[in-house]
Every structure is written in structure tokens, then in C-alpha cells.
Amino acid sequence: MIVEPKFRGFICTTSHPTGCKKNVENQIEYVKENGKIEGAKRVLVLGASTGYGLASAIVASEACDAEVLGVSFEREAKGKRTASAGWYNIESLKKFAEGEGKKFISVNGDAFSNEVKSEVIDLIKENMGKVDLVIYSLAAPKRKDPVSGEVYSSCLKTVGAPFTSKTLDFHTGEIQDITINPATEEEIEGTRKVMGGEDWMLWIEALKEANVLEKGVKTIAYSYIGPEVTYPIYREGTIGRAKNDLEKTAGEITKVLKSLDGEGYISVNKALVTQASSAIPIVSLYISILYKVMKEKGTHEGCIEQIYRMFKELYEGKLNLDSENRIRIDDLEMAEDVQKAIEEIWPQITSENVFELSDAEDIKKEFFKLFGFGLEGVDYSKDVDITTV
């Protein structure tokens, strides 16, 4: 069938298999051009199908020549309904890796569940022995507590007071005022349960108990801080509370891994166009200005550039750590000259000048690419088999 983009709000409900494959291929090409990294050899990536998790799986496989086990929860094609972009991404990466004679195992299931943890541990024992790197990059709207069975939901709200600011609808290019209401205590706790460090710790404890962690193992979870203009909705909001919990967990994990000389790290990454960030009010406008400023300065990076740089710094002993022991690969975003330029543009931006003062047009293209649309070298008028890549 011929596949075209269809939308429901900020969600694209269709994905293009050939386009997703091309997207993965482009990231692999970047890694090949930049060379090998002497690093991890057996890697578990939790949340391996999109964004930073996908980039981590690609860098591990292609730069480190590592054996990779990727866990994701994606939708296969059914009838005339395409698979999710993540499903096509992971299938593409698996094909590329296997074509090069590399081991790439994928598990499609709920990483929050005990069943998937057990399945992954069995697969590590059978196929890899032990892992020396665990990447934690899960993003989900809900999580079922494996002990109580209670289902928790995350939400995107402020804490304490409502917040009004500008946001961008990149589909239309309109700048609108938006007010975000404060969360209840229950919503704050629900977001922490879904997006905080609890499940990361459960994974590390389960892997350690099963004796599938290598001596000197490292584990990394991804976070974001950003500038003050985004604080009320992000860092000081419900998501920020969850990220604080995630960051606190890194230190606790280092203690758990002490007997293995292991370490738990948080990597604070750059703001990027992802399926998650596109839905965050205010942040979408900030990203569109950020992209323009960083491209003009020649410092812009996407997921693959960020993660390749992080792996290189991690394994070449040149980590840029802050006072709280967090890896900072958001350093180019948070550079004083970049943030000063954004601060100058922010109050001036309107629907009339948004395409001139920001990268709104490219942001839209980047968003489409997440779902396999708008990539060079793909014939979108062609019939495609939506059940495979």
C-alpha cells in the first residue's frame, strides 16, 4: 500500500517502513564516518527503538562492535494499519547488524514487567553471558507496578501554581499563549512512579541477582535540564520531579554495584525533536529557536551525534561531569552565547515572524522524519509492504 502521514493531535498515526529504514541507515552512516570506539562489548538497551535509546543501540553495535540486546514495546502492522516507527527502526537496525555478522537481539514487550525482566535475563545468559553496559531510556505514559499491580500514569503539569507562556504549533506555525495547570499530589507521584528511577533500580537489582552484570559494568539513564524559560513546565514541573528521582537513583545504583566496581550515571542530554518533546508545550518553541541558533553557530547535534560523543567521552576517560556527577552532553546547548541569543529572540517571536526567527519549518520536517516521512532517497509514491522493512 502507499503510506502517507496521518495525524491525531501531536501524534502521527502512520509510519513509513522504507523511510524509517533510511533514517536508521543515515545514523549508521554517521557512526561509520566517525570511526570505531574501543568500548562496551555486550550491551543491554532498555527503550531501544526511538530517540536516544535507538542512537545508543546504533552506536553500541556500529562503533563498539558490541553484541546488543534491545528492549522496546512497539506495535506491529495489522491489516491496513502500519507498524509503529519504533518497530520499523528496531527491525531495520537488526537487519543491518546481522548483515554485518553482528549479534543483535530484540525483545518486544513491557520493560516495566517482571516477565520481560526474566525473559531478558534468560536471553543474556544464553546468548551473551554478561553485559558490561546497561542503557536506560524508557519513555512511557503508564507503568504497572510489578508488585502491587497498580497502574500509574505520568502527566505534564506544573507544580504549585499555573504557568502561562508561549508555545508553537509547528503544524500551523502559530504562536499561542498556553496555560499549564498545577498537578495534584497524586499526579506528581504517578509521574515519579512512571518516569523516575524506581524501575531502573529494579532492573539493576534483577540483573545483579541473576549474575549477568560484568565486573566494571556501567549503567546510564538519560535526563534533561534546559534553561530557565522551560523550568516551570519541565524541570520544576511533574517531569522534573521524576527526573530528580531518576538522578538520585544513579548514586544509589553506584552503591548497589560497588562489589562489581560498577557505576550508575545520568547523562544530561540536549533538547531535541522527539515524539515525546514535540508534545511538551513551550519546549517545542524553545527547541525551534535553539535549532536555529545552534545551526548558525555550527554546534547543532542530533541524537546520534550526541550519543556518539557520549560513548567516546565515556570510554576514552574524558567525561564532562558536573558537581553532581552527571555527564553533561548538553554543554553546547547551555553555552552562554547560545542561551543569550535565545533570550533575545524569545520576547520578539510571533506567528508573523516565527519562520524568520526560529527553525520552525525544519522542526516540522524533523518531526515527520521520526515516522519515516520526508527522507531524501525514498520514493513515497511507491507501494510498500507494511509488515517488514
Q: What is the pTM of this model?
A: 0.97
* Count of domains forming the chain: 1
Return the CATH number at 89.
3.40.50.720
Model confidence at 281, in pLDDT bands (50, 70, 90)? confident
Q: 139 among the known binding-site residues?
A: yes
Q: Point out the catalytic residue in the list 30, 136, 222, 234.
A: 234
Task: Judge whether 280 lies within some domain.
Answer: no
Task: Judge whether 41 lies within some domain.
Answer: yes
Task: Judge whether 383 lies within some domain.
Answer: no
Task: Judge whether 39 lies within some domain.
Answer: yes
Residue-level pLDDT at 170:
81
For the chain, give the secondary structure using H, E and C.
CCCCCCEECCEECCCCHHHHHHHHHHHHHHHHHHCCCCCCCEEEEECCCCHHHHHHHHHHHHCCCCEEEEEECCCCCECCECCCHHHHHHHHHHHHHHHCCCCEEEEECCCCCHHHHHHHHHHHHHHCCCEEEEEECCCCCEEECCCCCCEEECCCCECCCCEEEEEEECCCCEEEEEEECECCHHHHHHHHHHHCCHHHHHHHHHHHHCCCEEEEEEEEEEECCCCHHHCCCCCCCHHHHHHHHHHHHHHHHHHHCHHHCCEEEEEECCCCCCCCHHHCCCHHHHHHHHHHHHHHHCCCCCHHHHHHHHHHHHHCCCCCECCCCCEECCCCCCCHHHHHHHHHHHHHCCCCCHHHHCCHHHHHHHHHHHCCCCCCCCCCCCCCCCCCC
Task: Judge whether 326 lies within some domain.
Answer: yes
pLDDT tens digit sequence for 58-73: 999 999 999 999 999 9
Task: Judge whether 28 lies within some domain.
Answer: yes
pLDDT tens digit sequence for 41-97: 999 999 999 999 999 999 999 999 999 999 999 999 999 999 999 999 999 999 999
Q: 111 among the known binding-site residues?
A: yes
Task: Judge whether 196 lies within some domain.
Answer: yes
380 catalytic, yes or no? no
Range of the domain at 59: 7-157+186-273+300-332
pLDDT at 278 over 90: no
Residue-level pLDDT at 7:
86
Q: 48 among the known binding-site residues?
A: yes
Q: What is the mean pLDDT of residues 14-25?
A: 99
pLDDT at 275 over 80: no
Model confidence at 342, in pLDDT bands (50, 70, 90)? very high
Task: Judge whether 169 lies within some domain.
Answer: no
Q: 158 among the known binding-site residues?
A: no
